[in-house]
Amino acid sequence: MQEDTLADGRRVRIRVKTVSCTYVGDLLVPPMRNRVSDALNEETQMFISLTDVVIGDQEQTDFVAINKHLIESVTQL
């Protein structure tokens, strides 16, 4: 499990499967949240933000915002 502690939270590597694609990237879990699920269940946020992202098996990008309504599953790596 890859995890970095930052002053503004904890960066966790996750795999997100949506209805159309799979993303692997880093999710920032804020300091007031303890678990990835806490960050994902934040009701005021409609999107999750991933950094250092691999889309599918090939394409790489620095940032992706994913609509939480499209997420089918999340796995912490």
Determine how many CB atoms are found less than 10 A away from the CB of residue 37: 11
| pTM summary value | 0.85
Topology of the domain comprising 3-76 = SH3 type barrels. (2.30.30)
Does pLDDT of 2 surpass 70?
no
At 41, list the tokens. Answer: 């269940």
- Model confidence over 21-44: pLDDT tens digits? 999 999 998 887 778 998 889 889
Domain boundaries, the chain: 3-76
What are the start-end ranges of the E strands in the chain?
3-6, 9-18, 22-29, 47-55, 59-67, 71-76
Q: What is the pLDDT of residues 41-70, one digit of tens each?
A: 988 999 999 999 999 988 999 999 999 999
Lookup result for tokens 């950094």:
51
How does residue 9 score in pLDDT terms, banded at 50, 70 and 90? confident
Is 10's pLDDT higher than 70?
A: yes
